[in-house]
Amino acid sequence: MEEGRLHTRVLKCTLELANSRIFWAESIAAEPMQAEAAFEAGWFGHRSLSRMRELLTNLRARYGAFPAALQVLHRWQRMGGDTQKLICHWHLQLSDPLYRQFSGTFLPERLLQGQPTVSKQQVVTWLGEAGGGRWSGSTRLQLASKLLSTAHSAGLIQGKRDPRPIVFPLVPDDALTYLLHLLREVDFEGTVLANPYLRSVGLEGNLLNDRLKRLPDLSYGRQGDLVDMGWKHPDLSAWATHAGVGGAEQRELAVA
């Protein structure tokens, strides 16, 4: 289920590309990763135990809350860089409603309304509205910096100086297929064809229709408001197996 409670965990952990990859590789379904074990093994480098606990709290919320997806990610050792960024981005959206609103509504609306850039002050102003006045000015400034840097790492924003161009990133077929199967297994607001996850990467309307028609693991047709959408695999795990995600030489997750 997507997280609905507004929080500010992005202040402590942003996209965490490298750490997410480590978490996927070292996670075992039957044994949730413990901070003490990660600290002793040095999986996440030279971090204090308290910082390790904080990091793992965030990574569990992003990935551990979706065990079937984590199993696929554990096996997916040869994932491309563009796909990795998007998967980290989408899982952060699932676990963080503030980032979901920022990346899935605020940024694409600016771009589609002919405002192709964003500044830190504009994000600070937006946070005042999104938070309903719950955050101080200094907290909004910190949140704006973290949201912008996270969106930059995800490929949604170019540059680190104002005004920053808003862009829609390249979405590989395997990343899009992963997302569609993931959403089948998650309770979220919206529909499979209209949601902040697809909207954040510019996939709406005719562009989305064209992409779905070309996906090899999905049958899709549309005539007016009538949509015919068929899944060639029963779930995310079955798709991953068919697509060759992982391999026989890679260690499998323990079965809970």
Q: Looking at the chain, how many residues does it have?
A: 256
Task: Return the bridge partners of 230, or none.
Answer: 219
Give the chain's domain count.
1
- In-domain check, residue 205: yes
219 lies in some domain: yes
8 Å CB contact between 153 and 85 = yes
Backbone angles phi, psi at 204, to 5 degrees: -145, 165
Q: No. of H helices and E strands in the chain?
A: 13, 4
Tell whether 183 is covered by a domain.
yes
Q: Does residue 63 sit within a domain?
A: no
Cis omega before residue 163 (within 30°)? yes
How, if at all, do strands 218-223 and 226-231 pair? Answer: antiparallel
Domain, as residue range, for 210: 174-243
User: For position 29, what pLDDT does the model report?
Assistant: 58
Please, what's the b/e burial string for 230-243 (b: 16 or more CB within 10 A of its CB; e: otherwise)?
eeebeebbebbeeb
Q: Looking at the domain assignment, is residue 227 inside a domain?
A: yes
pLDDT tens digits for range 140-163: 999 999 999 999 999 999 999 999
Please give the pLDDT value at position 30: 58
pLDDT value, residue 255? 31
138 within a domain of the structure (yes/no): no
Rounded Cα–Cα distance for residues 122 and 20 (Å): 29
Neighbours of 174 (CB within 10 A): 21
pLDDT score at 221: 85
Q: How far is CA 200 from each of CA 17, 61, 107, rounded to the nearest angstrom?
A: 18, 20, 7
pLDDT tens, residue by residue, 89-144: 999 999 999 999 999 999 999 998 999 999 999 999 999 999 988 999 999 999 99
Position 50 in a domain: no
Judge whether residue 253 has pLDDT over 70: no
Q: List the Cα angle 22/26/29 in 5-degree steps.
A: 130
How many CA atoms lie within 13 Å of 8's alpha carbon, on the beta-carbon side?
15
More confidently predicted of 87 and 244: 87
Does residue 214 fall inside a structural domain?
yes
